[in-house]
Amino acid sequence: MLLGVRADLPQAPIGILLLFLHPKMTQFSTKTIQWQDDLYHDHHVNKILVQNSNGPCFLIALVNSLILSSELTLNGWTNVGSKAIETSHVKAEHLVPLKELLTKNVVQLDELLNEITNLVIQVADSDFDLSPLLESLPKLHTGLNVNPNFLLPRITSKQDGNSKVLDILDLFNLELYHGWLIDELTPGYELLSRLANYDSLQSYILEIKSAIRESGLVANYEYEDLSPEQLDQLLSQSDDTRLMQFLNEYQDIQNFLRSNGTELSETGLSRLMFDSQNTIKRSSFAIFFRNEHFNTVYKNQTDSLFTLLIDEGYSKSQTYVWQTLSSVDGSNDKLLDGNFEFTIEQVQPLSHEPIPIDSTDFIINEEELETANEDEALAKKLQKQEDENAARAIQKKYDTQAKSKSKSKSKSTNKSQPGTSADSNKRDKSAAAGVKNNTEDKGKCIVM
């Protein structure tokens, strides 16, 4: 019997099993949540994974979305009085080992990947080619290559041939969405719709920067970003029609990135909320990608969106379960309890004896409300600082790689040609410092 796979299941390729020999360096805390859906008003109790400081958040979002969505499609286990019918490939008995694993306070990465692999093998049809998918499963830990399309909210494996691991979503009846979308009113719409996706956008930025470097108009230019003032100056100096077109397009691209620093646009948020036919269905769960982060999102019957609170800082909270997704920059987002209601976490008294009310009670309640608001404001401030630091680090690495590519090419040819590739997993956000709607201690996600 091969190590790490249950004897009653078909054996996975040995290359995949080597993944499970990975030292137990990565582990996840779990948390018990109680919540009530708005479809049947059933009460649910589930164990979910919590985001650690630098964990693979796609894996966390995948497991949490699978567990919670099963509550609306399967009968039994932790669902109290469910009226739903079984519609997914995943049956209730398939999830028992995974749910049993999550009863632990701490789950090891290799244990989690073992159960995901076993689940894939169980639910796949006999004619389904498992080999490419199983060989891609290590990306659940090392990262995931996603390439958001500015016109399409759903991310699928068909859009990204290098991410066969996304086929696992089809097996589990899950969908992955993003909200970095444009419409005809978006400045630079013609250019952005032609480029269509983020990878193409990055390649085009590199091509523009190569043209700027070759023009010699900027002394010692090494692919760094140019300010609006510098671009205006270049436009006034250049008489090259092609270069002027590049510069104007670069302005449009920079404005687009600057105004969508959280990888969520007003257009995208509106479509996710109100276009249930082409995006997230009502009373359903999905995986949501934004700002290099994956999380579980839920849409209720009134088209409101809620993300699951998986931040380690809330792992001990018995009150907060959801966060509203109602604004691009997080300024209007609120922390909610399991019933999707706004509440303030109270400290439980040590005694169960009746506590007499005195004249200071209303002052105490007011202070608690003020403290809660201060905590939420502090979390958003810290998250903004983290976003800015991460954006600077990403841009520095991107510029270093571009510079290295340029030097390498200059050795093999006397004249540099426009670049044709870009690092597809790094977001050019040096000009954008948007406030995310995520909370303190979220940590960075691994995104290839």
- Axis crossing angle, helix 241-259 with helix 228-237, rounded to the nearest 10: 170
- Number of domains present in the structure of the chain: 1
**Percent of the chain at pLDDT exceeding 70:** 65
Model confidence at 440, pLDDT cuts 50, 70, 90, reads: very low
pLDDT at 248 > cutoff 60:
yes
Q: Is residue 116 part of a domain?
A: yes
* Phi, psi angles (nearest 5°) of residue 278: -115, -5
Q: Sort residue 193 into left (φ over 0), alpha (ψ -120 to 50) or beta.
A: alpha
pLDDT at 421 > cutoff 50:
no
**Percent of the chain at pLDDT exceeding 90:** 39
Which candidate, 102, 119, 93, 92, places its Cα nearest to that of 47?
Answer: 102
Model confidence at 429, pLDDT cuts 50, 70, 90, reads: very low
Q: How confident is the prediction for the chain on average, in pLDDT?
A: 76
| H or E element, residue 285 | strand 284-290
Model confidence at 6, pLDDT cuts 50, 70, 90, reads: very low
Mean pLDDT along residues 69-91: 59
Q: 3-state DSSP call for residue 177? A: strand
- Axis crossing angle, helix 241-259 with helix 198-215, rounded to the nearest 10: 140
Model pLDDT, residue 352: 39
Q: How far is CA 13 from CA 5, 92, 345, in A?
A: 11, 26, 48
One-letter amino acid at 332 equals N
pTM above the 0.75 mark? no
Model pLDDT, residue 156: 85
Model pLDDT, residue 238: 82
Which candidate, 111, 97, 100, 101, places its Cα nearest to that of 26?
Answer: 111
Model pLDDT, residue 284: 94
Mean pLDDT along residues 356-367: 42
* Structural domain containing residue 155: 24-178+278-324
Model pLDDT, residue 80: 44
Model pLDDT, residue 221: 84
Model confidence at 16, pLDDT cuts 50, 70, 90, reads: very low
Q: What pairing do the DSSP bridges indicate for beta strands 305-308 and 322-324?
A: antiparallel
Q: What pairing do the DSSP bridges indicate for beta strands 176-178 and 293-299?
A: unpaired
pLDDT at 152 > cutoff 80:
yes
Model pLDDT, residue 383: 56
Model pLDDT, residue 200: 95
Give the model confidence (pLDDT) of 187-232 as tens digits: 899 999 999 999 999 999 999 999 999 988 888 888 888 888 888 8
Q: Is residue 126 part of a domain?
A: yes
Q: Is residue 384 part of a domain?
A: no
Highest mean predicted confidence (pLDDT) among 1-15, 43-57, 256-270: 256-270
430 contacts 209 by C-beta, under 8 angstroms: no
Mean pLDDT along residues 324-347: 87
Model pLDDT, residue 135: 81
pLDDT at 77 > cutoff 80:
no
Model confidence at 328, pLDDT cuts 50, 70, 90, reads: very high
Q: Is residue 363 part of a domain?
A: no
DSSP annotation of 314:
G
Q: Is residue 170 part of a domain?
A: yes
Q: Is residue 33 part of a domain?
A: yes
pLDDT at 21 > cutoff 60:
no
Give the tokens for residue 390.
């991460």
Highest mean predicted confidence (pLDDT) among 96-105, 208-217, 225-234, 251-260: 96-105
123 contacts 205 by C-beta, under 8 angstroms: no
165 contacts 233 by C-beta, under 8 angstroms: no
Q: Is residue 291 part of a domain?
A: yes
Model pLDDT, residue 367: 52
Model pLDDT, residue 372: 52
pLDDT at 420 > cutoff 90:
no
First vs last Cα of the chain: how many Å apart? 33
Model pLDDT, residue 343: 84
Among 15-29, 264-278, 431-445, which stretch is predicted with the lowest mean pLDDT?
A: 431-445
With tokens 């006397």, the residue in question is 414
Distance between CA atoms of 367 and 264, rounded to whole angstroms? 34
Q: Is residue 394 part of a domain?
A: no
Model pLDDT, residue 371: 55
Model confidence at 39, pLDDT cuts 50, 70, 90, reads: confident
